[in-house]
Amino acid sequence: MNAAFDSPPRLAVRTVELRDRRGLLTHLPAAAPLCWLRSGEGLVGWGQAARIELPAEEDPRGTSRFTEGARRLAELFAEAAVDDPVDLPGTGPVAFGAFTFDPRSSGSALVVPSVVVGRRDGRTWLTTIGGHRVGAHPAELSAPRTPLRPVGPLIWGEGALSAQAWGGAVAEAVRRIRGGALHKAVLARDLVADAERGIDPRTLLDRLAGGYPDCFTFSIDGMLGATPELLLRRFDGRLSSLVLAGTRPRGADPAEDARLAAELQGSAKDLEEHAYAIDSLRRTLAPIAERVEAPERPGLLRLANVQHLASPASAELRPGVSSLDAVAALHPTAAVGGTPTPEAVELIRELERMDRGRYAGPVGWVDARDRGEWGIALRCAEVSGSRARLFAGCGIVADSDPAAETAEADAKFRVIREALTD
C-alpha cells in the first residue's frame, strides 16, 4: 500500500493549559471542523498540519489501511518536537481518523490538525501543531469565527434503494440466513438531502451535541454524526469497549417506554443478535489480548430516540499491540457487519447496492502516546458542500421482519434528519 503523505518535514507541537470554560464547539471555524465530543468533553480541531491518505485495498479482508496509517503516524510523531506539560489523553500531537467500512473502498484518512482545543476531567488545553517553531502563534488561532448558519430548505431524495426495495433486500437476507448461508447480516440504506447553499457542519454538531450528550458527536474529514457505539478506548494500556446490538424506539410516555424496554430485553431475536456481537468481540480480541471481560447478560442503554441492548467489555492488550492494531482486529464487528463476517460483508455488498464509504467504519482519534478513542460511524451523514448523505442500518437475523426493520432504520435516520432541520 502506498499512502499519500502531506506534512512538513518536522512538526513543532506545544500544549498549554487554558482557563477558558467556553463550550468546545464555540472555537470551531466553519471550514473542515474536527470534533470528538461527549457530554461537553473531548477534542475539537481545525487546520491541517499533516494528512495521511490510505488507498483502497484489493483484499476483501485487508487491514493495511490501519497498519500503514499507524506506521506513518508513528514516524511523524516520533520526529516531532513536543512541549506538553499537561500530559492528558489527547494532549500533544493528535490525529483524527476516519476509515472505510470495506477495505475495497477509498476514503480512509488520518488528519493532524494545526490547532486542537481539548477538555477532560474539568481541565482545558490548547495544542498548536505545525512546521513553525515551538511557541509560534499559528494564523489559524486568529481566524474569525462566523456565526452558525441555518441549513435552510432541503430537498430529500432516495439513496441507492427506496424503502420498498430495501425491504426486499432484507427479505432476501432473511431467506439466505434461514438457508444456512450465515447467521446475521447488518444491512444499511442511505438517503440524500440537498440544501440551497453549503451546509455549515458546526450547526449540525451543535444540535447533535445538545440533543445526544451521551453519544460521541464527531466530525472527521466530512463524516459527521453522533454515535452511541464506542469501538474502543485506550488510555492506560487497558482497552474498553461498548457493544450495542438490539434496538427499540423510545416510548411516548413512561409506561410505553418501560413496555418497549421489557420487550427488547425479553426478545429472543434481539438477544440472539446481541450474543453474536459479544462472541465476535471475544474471538477477534483473543489473539491480541490477555483476557476479555463482558457481562453474561446485556443491560439497557437509553438514548433520546432509541434504546439498545448494551454490554460494556474490557481487555488487557498484549505487549506491542497498538490502538490501531486493536481497531484493525475489531473491525467490522458483528454489530455492523454480521456473522460470519466474511460472508456477511459479501452479502452486504450484493444486497445494499451502494458503497458505504466510511459509514459503519472506525472514526476517532489517537495521540502520540497511543491513547485514544475510536467509535463506529453510525447515526451519521457524509456532508459535502450543500449535500448530505445519511445512513442507517439494522441487524438482520432469521426472525427479522422487513417492515419492522424498515421502521427501525427510519428511527435511526431521525438523529441526522432532525439535526438538518431548522
Q: Sign (positive/negative) of CA torsion 363, 412, 389, 101?
A: positive
Grid cell, residue 170, equals: 432484507
Confidence of residue 168 (pLDDT cuts 50, 70, 90): very high
Above 70 in pLDDT, residue 133? no
pLDDT digits (tens, 9 = 90+) for 397-419: 999 999 999 999 998 999 999 99
Domain of 307: which CATH number? 3.60.120.10
Above 90 in pLDDT, residue 143? no
* Domains in the chain, number: 1
Mean of pLDDT values over 300-306: 84
Do residues 91 and 129 touch, judged by C-beta distance below 8 A? no
pLDDT digits (tens, 9 = 90+) for 87-100: 999 999 999 999 99
Short-list 166, 161, 160, CA closest to 400: 166
Backbone angles phi, psi at 405, to 5 degrees: -70, -35
Short-list 394, 279, 391, CA closest to 339: 279
Give the E-state strand segments of 267-398 in sequence order. Answer: 289-293, 299-302, 306-317, 338-339, 362-367, 372-376, 380-384, 387-396
Query: Range of 24's domain?
Result: 4-420
Above 90 in pLDDT, residue 316? no
Above 70 in pLDDT, residue 221? yes
Mean of pLDDT values over 112-131: 93
Above 60 in pLDDT, residue 158? yes
Q: Please state, rounded to an integer, the average pLDDT across all residues of the chain.
A: 91
pTM exceeds cut of 0.95: no
**Which range, 42-56, 246-260, 269-283, 332-346, is most confident?**
42-56
What pLDDT shows up at residue 140? 62
Mean of pLDDT values over 299-316: 87
Do residues 212 and 368 touch, judged by C-beta distance below 8 A? no
Confidence of residue 286 (pLDDT cuts 50, 70, 90): confident
Angstrom distance (rounded) from CA 336 to CA 294: 19
Mean of pLDDT values over 201-205: 98
Determine what percent of the chain is predicted with pLDDT higher than 90: 71
DSSP type of residue 18: E
Q: For the chain, first and last CA: distance in Å?
A: 43
